[in-house]
Amino acid sequence: MKITDVKELENIAKKIRIGIIEQVYNGKSGHPGGSLSCADILTVLYFNQMNINPENPKAEARDRFVLSKGHASPALYSTLAHRGFFDVEELKTFRNIESKLQGHPDMNKVPGVDMTTGSLGQGLSVANGMALSSKLNSNGLRVYCLVGDGEIQEGQVWEAAMSSAHYKLDNLCLIVDNNNLQIDGEVDKVKNIYPLDDKFKSFGFEVIKIDGHNISQIIESFETAKKIKGKPTVIIANTIKGKGVSFMENQAGWHGKAPNEEQYKQAIEELM
């Protein structure tokens, strides 16, 4: 399944965003802001780019995805549900004590989740291992890892970045969800990480900068990354936290907060 029509992908991204709001509202907790900001990226990965099969979620030859910013699980769950890994109705059980859809993704419980995540800064290290294994086994799979911009204040990310380049992991694509907001405010004021492009270039990465809400640019960036040889690629995707919901956009307060009933209804109406 590979959808190439941009308008269709945009419509899928809307459905994924609605699923995000449904989850956080029904669960009465969660992280809507950073989930909404990465919805377009996940849409392109799961509906246009990755070699995956919902009927065989553990296939050895499948591409891998690591959601390093595991608190954005509503985005991943909504994407997986709409891709057919499980029923969309299950999204309403988010964070229920008996649900498999907990606050952070669990690879042992949720079909389609390739790595259990939630402890920030660790995803790229895991993705490195997956990409290196693929090279050693010559099975040709690609590995994608999504990190948050606030997350890369973690030192382990840069240790892992050195390894990515050292082992020439050209089958690895790192994506930075660069919405410049974290739980305490603006990323550059909490702990400045910029200029990201220069930093990653100095660590040996091919750097691609895009509008993380432009479906065509996202597709083109992933296609370009496939052609890079001898080094890993990072896609710095400039995004808007809370994208698609007017009162959540660019508001750090919506990093980890559930909408009330009135806000929920407004959000759904805006996303329809």
* pLDDT computed for residue 209 by the predictor: 98
Tens digit of each residue's pLDDT (9 = 90 or more) over 136-181: 998 899 999 999 999 999 999 999 999 999 999 999 999 999 999 9
If you average pLDDT over residues 12-22, what whole number do you get? 98
Encode pLDDT of 102-117 as tens digits.
999 999 999 999 999 9
Question: What pLDDT band is residue 1 in, cutting at 50, 70 and 90?
Answer: confident
pLDDT tens across 185-221, in order? Answer: 999 999 999 999 999 999 999 999 999 999 999 999 9
Is the pLDDT confidence value at 56 over 80?
Answer: yes
148's CB contacts (< 8 A; 6+ apart) are 34, 68, 69, 72, 120, 176, 177, 179, 182
Closest CA to 40 of 217, 212, 208: 212
Tell me, what's the pLDDT at 58? 96
Using CB atoms within 10 Å of the CB of residue 231, give its burial: 0 to 12 exposed, 13 to 18 middle, 19+ buried. middle
Q: What is the pLDDT of residue 7?
A: 98
Domain extents in the chain: 6-271
pLDDT band at 135 (very low <50, low <70, confident <90, very high): very high
CATH number at 6-271: 3.40.50.970
Determine contact, residues 203/172, Cβ cutoff 8 Å.
no
Average pLDDT along the chain = 97
pTM: 0.97
In order of 64, 67, 76, 236, 242, the CA distances from 102 in angstroms are: 20, 14, 12, 28, 21
What pLDDT, on a 0 to 100 scale, did the predictor assign at position 132?
98
